Chains A and B, each alone.
Chain A
Amino acid sequence: MEFWLTQAFNGISYGAMLFLLGSGLSLVFGVMRIVNLAHGSYFLLGGYVGLTTVSRTKSFPLALLSGALSVALIGLGMERLFLRRLSRQSLPQVLMTMGFALVFQDLGLLVWGGDPYTLAVPAFLAQSVQAGPVFVQFYRLFIIAVAFAVGIVLWVFLERTRAGASIRATVDDAEMAQGVGINVPLVSAGVFALGAFLAALGGVVGAGFIGVYPGLDFEVLPYAFVVVIVGGLGSLPGVVVGSLLVGLLDNFGKALFPELSYFTLFAPMALILALKPTGLFGKR
């Protein structure tokens, strides 16, 4: 019992981090049909910037903010200066994001070196408490709370505001969105920056949890893709379900069959895709 509860809690908190990572990827794909292989790099860079901020200012909230915002700016620059030139050419776009991922990887190595770091989280979050049979780390609760808050804000933004409706209209029919006067290039730039922001936020949060080290970018990237592919590309509820599912599968898989860890992650994905090729919540 203790084992199952502990692993479930760990799985959910890991899923919460994956939600931050996957929601941005899903949003960007939904609006722009861009498969962004540099999405894991945003996670990594967010973690590094957060790390530096904490070591300079000792402020964790500032780390969250600076990590997410600086990487959002990088994303914005990538979209406006580079990806825009390849609009609607999916293969060149994928190759360009791959190129960026490699550049970011080396840049990370150059600036932050090859050592692994863990971000120092505030003391009150570093505590843990015994709740029944389960040992609850506050920091994991914090990650769940952050993901929950971000999920609610995203949902309200997408479903209840005019800008959100413009984004959904662009997902539904980009050409007609232009036709009714939506500035689609502006929406695309905004969504791309938002996607990078979310991934980097996940990276800062993750840096206090799984740490930040060279290679992390390409380690989390497949998880991000599994989350959005299982959930259905471009669907927010899909990302919620996908990230929880992947978080739990990964945790239980690693705990029960450690030698099969990738199998327990990708076999269910293959099965879901075989039964429902658009993912659980995908429409197309």
Chain B
Amino acid sequence: MASSLRIDGLRAGYGSVRVIHDLSLRVGEGETVALLGTNGNGKSTLMHCIMGVVRPGAGRIVAKLDGIEHDLAGKAPHQIVQLGIALVPEGRHLFPRLTVDENLLLGAHRSDARRRIAENLELCFETFPALAQRRDQLAGSMSGGEQQMLALARALMTAPRILLVDEPSVGLSPLLVAQVIAKIEELKRRFGLTVLMAEQNLAQAIRIADRGYVIVHGRIEFEGASREELAKNDLVKRLYLGL
């Protein structure tokens, strides 16, 4: 079940605009690691680098799965998904004109997951009962909270080992944010996932994070070895509470 992620000296950007500068971080086996930072600091770019959507300029991204190291930099997104890495993207990015069922089935693109589609679908509907009643509804016609749940369920359909969650709280009411965060924790425990979660909402993120990093302008400015350390840190306070 061992799965972990290691990033060393990563540099990435778009054209001549450098977004991430020499960034290194670790996500250990079974950990939930929070990546904290306000908008425009490179959180999503980092996620896209891990998924192979953005090609890094330099550095290594290594996923260790069952003792085998896989170098992700240079791999195509579908190959990275195939290894067992799934992304719940910022803004959910469902396929709005496809039904709930179709969104979930497309999540199961990994060959491991394809063999267990029926089983995984059942798990999804058990974990997200609200979706079970909306299987034929178009994803774009659901509420924001339901869409976020569907985005999580879709990632779950790949039967991932490492789950990347990008800003799950965006556009949701505080009550829904709390529900989504609790769901991520539930999924992690239930399926033994290793989770890297980028989030702006500090209070919610540290509810489930084992530890975390603060990213500022594409650099890791602080590493908190525990959630207490994160909550007490001056930089975190300044960024989030304006103190």
Q: How far is the CA of A247 from the CA of B63 in the complex (A)?
A: 56
Chain B 28-77 residues near chain A, CB threshold 8 A: 51-53, 76-77
CB pair A168 B97 closer than 8 Å: yes
- Other 18 A-B pairs with CB < 8 A, given A168-B98, A179-B51, A180-B86: A166-B106, A169-B95, A169-B102, A172-B95, A173-B95, A176-B95, A177-B95, A177-B106, A178-B51, A178-B52, A179-B77, A180-B81, A181-B77, A181-B109, A181-B158, A183-B76, A183-B78, A283-B97
A165 to chain B, nearest CB (A): 5
Q: B77's contact among A165, A169, A178, by CB below 8 Å, is which?
A: A178
- Asked if B87 is at the interface (CB within 8 A of a chain A CB), the reply is yes
Find chain B residues with CB under 8 A from A184 CB.
77-78
CB pair B102 A180 closer than 8 Å: no
Instruction: Give the secondary structure class of A's interface.
Output: helix
Residue from A162, A173, A176, A185 having most chain B Cβ neighbours under 10 A: A176
CB pair A172 B97 closer than 8 Å: yes
Q: Which residues of B line the A interface, CB within 8 A?
A: 51-53, 76-78, 81-82, 86-87, 89, 93-98, 102, 105-107, 109-110, 154, 158
| Chain A interfacial residues counted at CB < 8 A | 20
CB pair B97 A178 closer than 8 Å: no
- Asked if A182 is at the interface (CB within 8 A of a chain B CB), the reply is yes
Find chain A residues with CB under 8 A from B109 CB.
180-182
- Asked if A219 is at the interface (CB within 8 A of a chain B CB), the reply is no
Residue from B52, B86, B102, B154 having most chain A Cβ neighbours under 10 A: B102
Residue from A171, A177, A184, A283 having most chain B Cβ neighbours under 10 A: A177
CB pair B106 A165 closer than 8 Å: yes
Cβ contacts A to B, 11 pairs, < 8 Å: A168-B102, A172-B95, A172-B97, A179-B51, A179-B77, A179-B81, A179-B93, A180-B86, A180-B107, A181-B158, A185-B76
CB pair A162 B53 closer than 8 Å: no
Q: How far is the CA of A183 from the CA of B87 in the complex (A)?
A: 16
- Asked if A106 is at the interface (CB within 8 A of a chain B CB), the reply is no
A90 to chain B, nearest CB (A): 17
Q: How far is the CA of A283 from the CA of B140 in the complex (A)?
A: 12
Known contacts A165-B105, A166-B106, A172-B98, A178 near B78 by CB under 8 Å:
yes
Which partner residue on chain B sits nearest A164 by CB separation? B102
Chain A 166-208 residues near chain B, CB threshold 8 A: 166, 168-169, 171-173, 175-185
B120 to chain A, nearest CB (A): 13
Q: How far is the CA of A169 from the CA of B106 in the complex (A)?
A: 8
Find chain B residues with CB under 8 A from A168 CB.
95, 97-98, 102
Enumerate the 10 nearest inter-chain pairs by beta-carbon distance, A residue then B residue, closest first.
A181-B81, A181-B109, A176-B93, A178-B77, A172-B95, A183-B78, A169-B95, A181-B78, A165-B102, A179-B87
Q: How far is the CA of A178 from the CA of B102 in the complex (A)?
A: 16
Q: How far is the CA of A176 from the CA of B52 in the complex (A)?
A: 12
Find chain B residues with CB under 8 A from A178 CB.
51-53, 76-78
Find chain A residues with CB under 8 A from B52 CB.
178
Q: How far is the CA of A191 from the CA of B198 in the complex (A)?
A: 35
Residue from A171, A175, A178 having most chain B Cβ neighbours under 10 A: A178
Find chain A residues with CB under 8 A from B89 CB.
176, 179
Q: How far is the CA of A181 from the CA of B82 in the complex (A)?
A: 7
CB pair A182 B98 closer than 8 Å: no
Q: B96's contact among A172, A179, A183, by CB below 8 Å, is which?
A: A172
Find chain A residues with CB under 8 A from B158 CB.
180-181
Find chain B residues with CB under 8 A from A162 CB.
105-106
Q: A175's contact among B82, B93, B94, by CB below 8 Å, is which?
A: B93
CB pair A169 B98 closer than 8 Å: yes
Find chain B residues with CB under 8 A from A166 CB.
106
Q: How far is the CA of A184 from the CA of B154 in the complex (A)?
A: 18
A170 to chain B, nearest CB (A): 9
Q: How far is the CA of A251 from the CA of B128 in the complex (A)?
A: 55
Q: B93's contact among A165, A173, A181, by CB below 8 Å, is which?
A: A173
Q: How far is the CA of A283 from the CA of B86 in the complex (A)?
A: 29
Find chain A residues with CB under 8 A from B78 CB.
178, 181-184
Find chain A residues with CB under 8 A from B81 CB.
179-181
